[in-house]
Amino acid sequence: MKTAVIGYPYIGQNREWKRITEAFWKEQLSLECYEQEMKNLRLAQLHQQQNLGLDVLTVGDFTYYDRMLDLAIMFNMIPSRYDRLSLKHQLTAYFAMARGAENVVACEMTKWFNTNYHYIVPEYEGQQLTLQHNVYAQYIQEAIEAFGMTPRVTIIGPFTFYKLTKGVGQEQKQHYIQQLVKVYKELLQSLEASGATSIQLEEPSLTKDLTSEDIALVQHFYHQILKGLTVESICTTYFEALSNYETMINLPVDGFGLDFVHGKNENLAALKKFGFPKDKVLYAGIINGRDIWRAELQKQLALVAEIRSYVPFSPIHLQTSCSLQHVPVTTAGENGIVPELLNALAFANEKITELQMIKGKILQQEVLHIQAFLDSEKAIRTLALHESRKKKAVHAQVNALTPEAFKRTDNYGKRSKLQRAFLQLPDYPTTTIGSFPQSAQVKKNRRLWRKGEITTTEYEAFNANETARWITIQEQLGLDVLVHGEFERTDMVEFFGEKLNGFAFTTNGWVVSYGSRCVKPPIIYGDVEWIEPMTVKEVSAAQSLTEKPVKGMLTGPVTILNWSFVRNDLARSEVAYQIGLALREEVRALENAGINIIQVDEPALKEGLPIRKSLHKAYIDASVNAFKLATSGVRETTQIHTHMCYCEFNDFIDVIESLDADVISIETSRSHGELIKVLKETPYKLGIGLGVYDIHSPRIPTVEEMAAIIEKGKKVIAKEQFWINPDCGLKTRTEQETIASLKNMVAAKERLKQLN
Q: How many CB atoms lie within 10 A of CB 614?
A: 8
Angle at the Cα of 132 from the Cα atoms of 131 and 133, rounded to 5 degrees: 130
As a whole number of Å, the end-to-end CA separation of the chain is 72
DSSP string, 465-503: HHHHHHHHHHHHHT-SSB--B-TT-SSTTHHHHTTEEEE
Instruction: Assess whether 672 carries a catalytic annotation.
Output: no
E strand map for 568-691: 597-601, 639-644, 663-667, 687-691
Residues that constitute the known binding site for L-methionine: 433-435, 486, 601
Residues that constitute the known binding site for L-homocysteine: 433-435, 601
* SS3 at position 329: coil
Distances (CA, A) of 309 to 270, 272, 302, 305: 13, 9, 11, 6
> Rounded distance, CA 554 to CA 602, Å?
9
Among residues 369, 484, 641, 696, which one is catalytic?
696
Q: Which long-range contacts (CB under 8 A, 24 or more apart) does 647-655 make?
A: 647/110, 647/111, 647/606, 647/607, 648/110, 648/606, 649/606, 649/675, 649/678, 650/674, 650/675, 650/678, 652/606, 653/678, 653/679, 653/682, 653/684, 654/682, 655/605, 655/606, 655/620, 655/624
> Rounded distance, CA 397 to CA 194, Å?
62
Nearest to 235 by CA among 196, 204, 189: 204
Residues that constitute the known binding site for Zn(2+): 643, 645, 667, 728
DSSP string, 540-572: HHHHTT-SS-BEEEEE-HHHHHHTSEE-SSS-H
Residues that constitute the known binding site for 5-methyltetrahydropteroyltri-L-glutamate: 18, 116, 517-518, 563
Measure the CA dihedral 340/343/346/347, to 10°: 90
Residues that constitute the known binding site: 18, 116, 433-435, 486, 517-518, 563, 601, 643, 645, 667, 728
Angle at the Cα of 514 from the Cα atoms of 293 and 612, rounded to 5 degrees: 60
> Rounded distance, CA 319 to CA 257, Å?
9
Residues in contact with 525: Cβ distance below 8 Å, sequence separation at least 6, in sequence order: 341, 383, 386, 388, 389, 502, 503, 504, 567
**Residues that are catalytic:** 696
